[in-house]
A and B are shown apart, each in its own frame.
Chain A
Amino acid sequence: MKFTVSWLKEHLDYTASLDELSEKLTAMGLEVEEITDRAKELAAFRVAYVVEATQHPDADRLRVCKVDTGSEIVQVVCGAPNARTGMKGVFAPSGVYVPGTDLLLKPTKIRGVESNGMLVSEREMGVSDEHDGIIEMPEDTEIGASYAALAGLDDPIIEIAITPNHQDALGVYGIARDLAASGFGTLKALDTSAIAGKFESPISVALNFEGDDPLPCSKFVGRYVRGVKNGPSPKWLQDKLKAIGLRPISALVDITNFVTYDLARPLHVFDADKINGNIQARLATQGETLLALDGEEYEVDADACMIADDAKAVGLGGVMGGEDTGCSEETTNVFIEAALFDPIRVAVTGRKLGIESDARYRFERGVDPAFVETAMEIATRLVMDLCGGEPSNVVVAGRGPDWQKTVELRKTRVRDLGGVDVPVAKMIIILDKLGFKPVEDGDVIRTEVPSWRMDIDGEADLVEEVLRVYGYDNIPAVSLPKINAVAKPSVTVKQRRVRIAKRALAVRGMMEAVTWSFLPRAHADLFGGVPDEIILVNPISADLDAMRPSLLPNLVAAAGRNHARGFADVSLFEVGSEYHSDRAEGQVMVAAGIRAGETSSRHWAGGGRVFDAYDAKADALAVLAAVGGPADAAQVVTGAPDWYHPGRSGLLQLGPKNRLAAFGELHPRVLEAMKIKGTVVGFEVYLGNVPMPRGTAETARPPLVASDYQAVERDFAFEMDRDVPADKIIKAVRGSDKKLITDITIFDVYEGEHVGEGKKSVAFSIRLQPTDKTLTDDEIDAVAAKVIANVEKASGGSLRG
């Protein structure tokens, strides 16, 4: 909502400064967003006298002017056809910024002739589109005077943000009323006197609805004014509209816009001669069309409130009038409409049709229901003042909505809810000035909600009204009482696991990314796809239309972007949600990461190696271990989802039903589809599947069992089929002596010429740790023999000699 200071002063007597006004508006909840002071911006543009204008020696269209600026005589080359000796114009000296052309003036030579400064047009000053020539000032204008002041531009424009509850402040008068209530100046009374009609309106109005509640149009007030002359509106009106960014059209139309912004009361004017018969408000018929004032043809459904004459639709109630029946320069008889429309229906119609109009904006927030006839009188007076003519009697249909409300405020409520003790007498004064007609009644203050405050519907609203005027800044800040002297932990196990997973992965050298929860559907399809129910209807762009079924695709895409920037080695992770349905259960918390390129860059002591599936496995196990999951007990099986390389990926699980993680190389097909070169490995840990710690939190650790007897290490190497999993060997070894064998390390896996075709050699070492005595050679040999037998049996291989 924009207005100028002088406009406000037409409704409010006050003496405070602009800064004080701005502070007060904000303190009242009418937040000042911007103040534009054109007098300041245009301060350097001053009236100057053209002492002499002569033809430029080398250019037909240019003149060389000697300009008296009041302080000196300067030479200016000017291309305007009206630059001539003895005229007064507006001059901008060198060093000044010219807003209309976005240029900083500098001394220059134009076709060899020196030019210092500029005689400007209105367009160059950015005050209008006028550019037929330079501005001409009246002969008696004082040289050196500020142009902005002379042109009436020394009127700061204030723009305030309007919250949806402040429908009363959508007009300058309402803003003045609110300021006056806070003690900031005195509200001036409006001239609301009735204008006597000279004849009966030839157009009648009717509401034609069946049992609708609330009525789509609850009141329609009309008046016919005959013999008007419609032309450009006077300067004072045009200046107002231009200042707030509206385009003057014609006096009749400008009046409706003025009343809309001045009094928050949208109006419409019909060219009465284009109306067939009478006017009624009714529901539209399905598919009915209207060519609206914005030149667009709209097709509406049966929910829209239509204004129609006897032949056709002439306006969308509360949204926009019709083009065919609008006023033009030729209009001689006008029919003025002031009506009340149901806010919800206006909002629905406006939203469906995509029409953002000043009328809709006000009607959907609520227009003062007790200010319809009065507004008609004000509008009639304006029409008669600006366009002449003779008014009819007012025609009225409907009686408007029931808006009267009584709301009680407990005297203690401002203290208890607002935290500040405002004396009852003070509360009553505040509410009275705001128009609430407060009456003390025992423990409560009873109020009548004014017609312009339809947002007020409860005691809490009155608390806000009192505090708003009393000043939010006067509420003392107090600490919240402590529940516990020392705070208790605030996070759940699940929340803590998310935090720990992040730090565990960062410690492993990975960068934490935060990527969109949505992605291109094509990427989703590469990672298992998503059901239609989680495809966005209105995505921000076509390639962010699906909720992500996995965290990996966004990370892979990010790796691609980093590759393109010249970074080949990428380790990224994210801990966040993936989505599988539109229900809360479909949202799954995952810690996922990818690695591409090499473990480290090339350097003097060697280089990195290419990341492989085992790196991803290590990452997944590290996350499990960090969050307190069963990293050791998890089974490693094949069968990772199909976005992984089928031969180089696996799952970590607790039994076939509880999948803790997937890891491995990503499938080349997926990478190719995402245009990624090289190998990418990745992992996904399903944090929600990690079992919760059992029972109560036990901080004590079990006792340390450490034996001082000599441990023994023995190495073995077996040849076996290539496909035998290492896991099987480890299990066979462990099973050989669960007590003595405390560790097994596979230190070599070899395939090649020294073993048979389709075979491999696996070498490992075991550690035997006795707890009660030193082992004898016989005892060690016995364990070794058992290991050999078990491994040979499990693997089908044989000990290498």
Chain B
Amino acid sequence: MQDIEKLEGELLGEIGNITNLDALESLRISALGKKGSVSLMMRGLGQMDPAERQIIAPQLNKLKTTVGDAVDAAKARLHAAELDIKLAAERIDISLPARPETQGRIHPISQVMDEITEIFADMGFDIAEGPDIEDDFHNFTALNIPPEHPARQMHDTFYLPEKEDGSRQLLRTHTSTVQIRTMQSQEPPHRIVVPGRTFRCDSDQTHTPMFHQIEGLVIDKTSHMGHLKGVLVEFCKAFFEVDDVTMRFRPSYFPFTEPSAEMDIKCTFAGDHVKIGEGDDWLEILGCGMVNPRVLAHCGIDPNEYQGFAWGMGIDRIAMLKYGIPDLRAFFDADLRWLKHYGFVPLDVPTLGGGLSR
């Protein structure tokens, strides 16, 4: 009895003092191994009389459990200490820069096109497209711009070589060509927007020979100028992400619309940035109007039955306004610094639900 208590005291003391796993293992073997001190005492139980064994056996079992638990606890302690040492040695310089990764960008024109189409999709518009190289009919004649009309001079058209029959192809000066193609190839009603490249033979601080437009067209039996205003005011609010936009409709002239209007929005110029929707200045952002009955007739649509409206807007221009981009010409220069600064990360996909911009 005393032996058992003594042995337990000795063993627990040794285990408590042990500092490495190897020594712990030898100690475990010397105590709990086949020939260990505890095992030898257990073996002595066989020679005891039953009465004595009944008293001693539980004590020995307790000894075995206590020593076993102590060994396990020491093992865990030593493992933890060893790991601490290892981890301390594995320390790195966390101030070193992360490995460089290249990050791509989406061009502002693509981003803004996605934003615009997202808004118009919500209003039930389909996206339509047409070719950049056009004929005179689709770019001018069908749009009620006959040859020698003064409006043609305002278009600064790029021409391709004259053919034997005297005709010549041209680079479309506006996306209005797709109005014609849509009305010719499909039955009304129509609700489309047409983003795309357009070309004019003009180059200076604020003009580039290629630019982007988005055209809108609604043809049905009832849409009128009030709807035109409604569509545009709702578009402006959504696109510029403001609660209200003060806008002004001015009478203007386009051969393919009658009545025609230009739309200005109120804004404030503050340093490099333009605040849209309110302020002291008017900013012209688009031309629009009710589709001229002659244009409908050119496309085989009965102007007595159908009517509607159209508008055209510069994508590059409204991108510049919304995102404070100063120089139009830089859009087409592919300068990596510019693309990184003004471009959008690819996961910034504009949605109405998630927000158009961050």
Contact = CB atoms under 8 A, between A and B. Distances in A.
19 contacts: A26-B250, A29-B252, A31-B252, A348-B148, A418-B290, A460-B258, A467-B225, A475-B225, A475-B229, A479-B231, A480-B231, A489-B121, A491-B121, A502-B106, A536-B171, A558-B334, A567-B336, A567-B337, A571-B102
Interface stretch (A235-243, A254-262, A505-513, A731-739): A505-513
5 closest A-B pairs by beta carbon, nearest first, are A419-B226, A29-B251, A163-B253, A509-B102, A464-B259
Nearest to B308: A417
B122 A468 contact: no
Contact of B133 (A417, A510, A534, A537): A534
Contacts of B149: 164, 347
Interface in A559-574: 561-562, 565, 567, 569-572
Contacts of B334: 511, 513-515, 554-555, 558, 561-562, 572
A562 B335 contact: yes
A657 B122 CA distance: 40
A548 to B, nearest CB: 11
Contact of A533 (B101, B161, B228, B307): B161
B346 A165 contact: no
A517 to B, nearest CB: 6
Given A536-B158, A587-B131, A478 B226 contact: yes
B312 interface: no
Given A478-B230, A490-B120, A503 B160 contact: no
B343 A511 contact: yes
A742 interface: no
Contacts of A351: 148, 153
A558 B334 CA distance: 6
A482 B231 CA distance: 11
A507 B104 contact: yes
A579 B202 CA distance: 21
Interface residues of B, number: 96
B52 interface: no
A215 to B, nearest CB: 16
A605 interface: yes
A189 interface: no
A37 interface: no
Which of A419, A511, A515 has most B Cβ within 10 Å?
A511
B278 interface: no
B197 interface: yes
Nearest to A415: B224
Nearest to B162: A537
A493 to B, nearest CB: 12
Contact of A460 (B100, B159, B203, B292): B292
A506 B249 contact: no
Contacts of B163: 533
Contacts of A534: 133, 160
Interface stretch (A11-19, A138-146, A596-604): A596-604
Contacts of B162: 537
A166 B346 CA distance: 48
A194 B132 CA distance: 57
A473 interface: yes
Nearest to A463: B259
Contact of B336 (A344, A416, A535, A562): A562
Interface in B117-155: 117, 120-127, 129-133, 147-151, 153-154
B125 A490 contact: yes
A516 B200 CA distance: 12
B249 A460 contact: no
Contacts of A483: 124, 191
A729 to B, nearest CB: 32
Contact of B258 (A464, A515, A604): A464
Contacts of B349: 503
Interface string A519-558: 0000000000000111111111100100100000011001
B150 A365 contact: yes
Contacts of B99: 600, 603, 605
A577 B132 contact: yes
A544 B151 contact: no
B282 to A, nearest CB: 9
A533 B218 CA distance: 35
Interface residues of A, number: 104
Interface class of chain B by DSSP: mixed
B201 interface: yes
B107 A512 contact: yes
B260 A464 contact: yes
Contacts of B225: 417-420, 467, 472, 475
A61 interface: no
A773 interface: no
B101 A508 contact: no
A487 interface: yes
B151 A516 contact: no
Nearest to A494: B129
B305 interface: no
A507 B346 contact: yes
Contacts of A415: 224
A643 to B, nearest CB: 19
Given A464-B258, A512-B107, 15 more contacts: A351-B148, A364-B148, A417-B307, A477-B226, A478-B229, A483-B124, A489-B121, A491-B127, A511-B104, A512-B104, A513-B107, A514-B107, A533-B160, A538-B159, A587-B131
A514 B331 contact: yes
Interface string A162-187: 01111000000000000000000000
B184 interface: no
Contacts of B206: none
B209 interface: yes
A416 B114 CA distance: 33
B214 interface: no
A476 interface: yes
A586 interface: yes
A52 to B, nearest CB: 48
Contact of B100 (A458, A476, A600): A600
B158 A164 contact: no
B161 A532 contact: yes
A567 to B, nearest CB: 5
B131 to A, nearest CB: 4
Interface in B52-92: none
B100 to A, nearest CB: 5
B252 to A, nearest CB: 6
B349 to A, nearest CB: 7
